[in-house]
Chains A and B, each alone.
Chain A
Amino acid sequence: MLAIRELTKTYDTGTAALRNVSITIDEPQVVAIIGPSGAGKSTLIRCINRLVEPTSGSVELNGENLTALGSRDLRRARRHIGMIFQEYNLVERLTVMENILSGRLGYVSFWRAFRRNYPAADVAAAFSLLERVGLEGYENTRADALSGGQRQRVGIARALIQSPDLLLVDEPTASLDPKTSRQVMRILVELAREQKTPTLINIHDVQLAKTFANRIIGMQDGEIVFDGKPGQLTEKVLTDIYGEEDWSTEAAQASGEDAPETAAAS
């Protein structure tokens, strides 16, 4: 499904954010990418849909090489890649419904988008997602009137209405409190599994990663230093990823929770 080969990104400032990163995902699974700030997690996610232009390497989604596409084809490809952001990135002054429907922008004509005149199927899908994320009745509320958790739910609905072949999620819970974080992660992972969408989640919270992901990739300084099951996250591995620290509690919980919550959800 998704094959990332030797992806490298060096910024104009000379910072090497990614060095020869290769990842293959060939089943609809939830992959968590963990690692310290500055490890290149955000860059990796953004190089896949080319919000950040990679320096070299390739990204192949369902047999199509995304890195080789021209701008028109890239836009067509982006329709099928949903994205969820740390700061939600909702259009603040638009209503919840407009924000969700904006996920269909790649599919409708400019004039229909301009007049907010979306096809009946899209509108019905938007209402159904609104219900799924627990925001019935909020369709005419403006995004800037929502709480953080509500905004991220709208963000999830906006990404999923794209019917994506791939879901890119960048630190979805970094701006949320622990309880809301778990709720948002649960909704996100449930919906991703239901639609059988492979999902890449950047997350700095190791505990959440282990609870919700089927596979964990650890990054350190632009390179992959771990790729395995949540249960394999031992003290030694966490030290490789984050550096020297007493990891005994985190690692102990890992072995105790061998069956992640997500497995039950599917």
Chain B
Amino acid sequence: MIEATWLRHTLLVLGLAYLVWSMSSLEVDWERVSKGLPRAGDIITRMFPPDFSRWELLTRGVTESLEMALAATFAGMILAVPLGLCAARNLVPMPVYLVARGIIVFMRTLHEVIVAIIFVKIFGFGPLAGVLTLIVSSITFIAKMLAEDIENMSPGQVEAIRATGAGFAKMLVYGVTPQILPRYLGVSIYRLDANIRQSTIVGIVGAGGIGQTLSASFSRYDYDFSLAILLVIIALVFIGEFFSSWARGKLR
């Protein structure tokens, strides 16, 4: 902890100065914000009771989200393998490693919604942009975990396989795969859960799924329908999380 009193005081002053500076630099329409509380009350009263009467729209959105998540997880699982192998320091030459790591770092810093909006511009509104977004983030995530697992595997087992005269491909199948397969499957199942969560939000920028329905209901001030969608999303996220931890428990 911070022991020195002067340091603590300096930090406190710096913190307050930051608060003043940041608050004053934000462009805020205080008049509009001051209406917030009554508006919040109004919105909440209009949200209740949640309106499930348009359930066909809801189920269509949910199915689309689920399909996007499943397709993207499958594609991501497969496509992450080459990238993950290339991003493992102990498997590939330095230049390949640097390029693969660079791609992973680059993709990881970009928020999924940014990726989604760019795909929407290129491929138009709809689930295609959403699936591609989820694929990209799945590849990055699984590849990163895969590379870390490969770097942490026991080198002796690989050395023994190399000593028998096996080439790179056989070394992968006998020395590497058995060591990382369980974790890879676990990470992929975890990713399915994450993809279900994300498939519900990429729609907000038009990339398909239940999020698109949600965004539309908000822009039409259909707040009772919005609440229904939100409840469904929360339920979906829960089921996904439950399934994922159950399946990963089974793997162990």
Contacts and interface: CB of A to CB of B under 8 A. Distances in A.
Given A91-B174, A91-B175, A113-B174, A105 B166 contact: yes
Contact of A110 (B163, B169, B178): B169
A87 interface: yes
Interface string B171-189: 0011100110110000000
B212 to A, nearest CB: 43
Given A51-B159, A91-B157, A105 B179 contact: no
Contacts of B13: none
B174 A83 contact: no
Interface size class of B (residues with CB under 8 A): 20 to 34
Interface in B148-181: 154, 156-157, 159-167, 169-170, 173-175, 178-179, 181
Contact of B164 (A93, A94, A158): A158
Nearest to B167: A75
Contacts of A76: 165
* Most A CB within 10 A of own CB, among B156, B160, B174: B160
A78 B157 contact: no
B85 to A, nearest CB: 16
Contact of A92 (B163, B173, B179): B179
Describe B's contact surface by its main secondary structure.
helix
A102 B169 contact: no
A231 interface: no
B179 A102 contact: no
Interface string A93-111: 1100010001111100010
A90 B164 contact: no
A127 interface: no
A94 B164 CA distance: 16
Contacts of A94: 174, 178
Contacts of B164: 78-79, 83, 102-106, 158, 162
B163 A81 contact: yes
A79 B162 contact: no
Q: Looking at chain A, what size class is its interface with the partner chain? A: 20 to 34
A245 to B, nearest CB: 32
Contacts of B182: 93
A49 interface: yes
A212 interface: no
With most chain A CB atoms within 10 A of its CB, the pick from B159, B165, B170, B181 is: B165
A153 to B, nearest CB: 15
A236 B29 CA distance: 93
B160 A85 contact: yes
B159 A89 contact: yes
A102 B165 CA distance: 10
B165 A92 contact: no
- Of listed A51, A105, A106, residue having the most chain B CB within 10 A: A105
A50 to B, nearest CB: 10
A51 B162 contact: yes
A224 to B, nearest CB: 24
A188 to B, nearest CB: 16
Interface string A58-88: 0000000000000000011111110101010
Given A51-B162, A87-B156, A103-B164, 12 more contacts: A49-B163, A51-B163, A79-B165, A81-B165, A91-B161, A94-B178, A98-B174, A102-B174, A105-B161, A106-B165, A113-B166, A155-B160
6 closest A-B pairs by beta carbon, nearest first, are A106-B165, A78-B165, A89-B160, A79-B165, A89-B156, A105-B166
Interface of B: 154, 156-157, 159-167, 169-170, 173-175, 178-179, 181-182
11 contacts: A78-B164, A80-B165, A89-B156, A91-B178, A92-B157, A93-B181, A104-B164, A105-B164, A105-B174, A106-B164, A168-B163
